[in-house]
Structure 1
């Protein structure tokens, strides 16, 4: 079926022919499709073979329909084979990184800086730390699912779809939000608030918890539950404070949630448990496209 050594192999002519006519066994077909992600030579062979079958005409029609219905920017992206690998990775990172979520993260960081220095609010870091853990959760909700991606069904059904696609897009969300919000926190006056990096473990735990819960409910519902639970945990005790002063009780509440080895250890345990549940629930991500 294949030739080459155990580490570098290429599809044989017979394997390609059976794949093109639909007679290749499903496990072998999935293995070949996975290989095509990293082997342009074999991908070109398979493409030529499939175009020579009746399915090739249908695929050409589907491609023209997708390109015709896509926004101009997306069509140019698909049609330009010379685009850099970095640009392709950014596109694959998901709608959150490409869309309105990224400006929203910048708005949160800049808004906190404006409150701290322009508005003279002493608890600006506390306000930022209260919001920061739910920012990546929102990014995950906007990155994965039929509501977020017009080609979701196609991507989720591919060998790189399912949980792998969700984790890829989650990593992109975290890579943007974690350093940006942490640096903003470092630049703000402490004013008794927890350290600027104290939210990182809670943010990771909430994100992993969202992914694990999404295997039962879908991403948007899971994000609503985890983000809503966190905001209630930090907001409800503050809302009952007389006099309308919120920054001082918010700072105290965040200190209880973030400060100390016990609190951070609890968040670390929650992250590990969420990761374990997510691993156990991995097959459920292959069924999310039917929800």
Structure 2
């Protein structure tokens, strides 16, 4: 069994004096959320730095604002939460090594945030229901062709609407936490993919083929475009990146179909989709791997995307 990691004395001292590199500091802060022993050592180290007297003064100010005779019940009258007083007095209960399941559930739902609310989810439902109604009620045979045209950009749109200051009023705060940055972006992207991939794949399978590619042919292109959007977002921001990748895909499919001659438009569109799906799955897989590698290299850029 792997031994649990704990902060060494060197890391603790370097964190206290501010010389620990930023990624290592964030990793330590994340560890302190569940390790009371390391949290106590870091607290002791900080008290012996130049910030110690300032923290002691704040502690004394808070304690003097609360009547000791009335105990912690008086904190409500003074506007000081009971948990704050316990922390200042140094009697805060040790952190649990394993957070309660309910706390984990709340944290997971919080991290998903805009990915599971807002305008994207209703838009996805409209695409699914509209395709089914168009095929079943209107007996439109080329519905799968239209669905496969927009399916690869649906997850891309979800990413655009789930990460960034335009999507989350608390983005600046969440992005500054140890769980922010790329980790938060990937969590919300996973939520988008978990909803859109099965919904669109099952809808495509329920529609008549009518010469269009297979219902699952768009999955690798959709994944590659999503990872490409995230990788590009590290350079130009989330909204611009998703507009480039999503718009680029639609232009690459629709423009040649419009410019081609002969036959109905949906038949020409199906031919363009077949050219980009059939026989190109290996290329899409390679593109997805390349985008994932670039995203790993550019991961630290997500720590400074608050205004993009």
TM-score range, shorter-chain basis?
Answer: 0.7 to 0.9
User: Considering only aligned residues, what root-mean-square deviation do their CA atoms show, in Å?
Assistant: 3.4
Q: TM-score, normalised by structure 2?
A: 0.72
Q: Return the match for 1:170 from 169, 178, 189.
A: 189
Structure 1 pair 191/9, CA: closer, same or farther in 2 (3 Å)?
Answer: same
Looking at CA atoms only, which structure, 1 or 2, has the larger radius of gyration?
2
Q: Distance in 2 between matches of 1:8 and 1:173?
A: 33
Work out whether residues 215 and 285 of structure 1, in 8 Å CA contact, stay in contact via their aligned partners in 2: yes
The Cα shift of 1:281 comes to 1.2
- How far did 1:246 drift? 2.2
Aligned-pair CA distance for 1:11: 11
Shift of 1:238: 2.1
Say if 2:254 is the partner of 1:235: yes
Identify if the C-alpha distance between structure 1 residues 8 and 215 changes in structure 2 by more than 3 Å, giving closer, same or farther.
Answer: closer
SS at match of 2:200: helix
1:54 partnered with 2:67? no
Contact 2:145 2:266 in 1 (8 A): yes
Shift of 1:206: 0.3
Is residue 106 of structure 1 aligned with residue 102 of structure 2?
A: no
2:4 pairs with 7, 11, 22, which one? 7
Distance 1:42 1:268 in 2: 45
Cα distance in structure 2, aligned partners of 1:126 and 1:239: 14
Q: Distance in 1 between matches of 2:156 and 2:205?
A: 21
Deviations 1:46-76 (A, max 9, x none): 9x9999873997xxx9x9xxxxxxxxxxxxx
Deviation at 1:86, TM superposition (A): 3.4
User: Following TM superposition, where does structure 1 have runs of at least 4 consecutive aligned residues deviating by more than 6 angstroms?
Assistant: 42-46, 48-53
Residue 29 of structure 2 corresponds to which residue in structure 1? 33
Q: Deviations over 1:131-174 (max 9, x none)?
A: 00000000111111111111111111111211111111111111
CA contact (8 A) 1:214 1:221 kept: yes
Aligned to 2:161, the other structure's residue is in SS state: helix
Q: Could you list the runs of 5+ residues in structure 1 that have no partner in the other structure?
A: 64-80
Aligned-partner Cα distance in 2 for 1:31–1:53: 29
User: Does the CA-based 8 Å contact 1:11-1:32 persist in structure 2?
Assistant: no
- Unaligned 5+ segments in structure 2 are 47-54, 63-78, 82-99
**Conserved in 1, the CA contact under 8 Å of 2:6 and 2:38?**
no
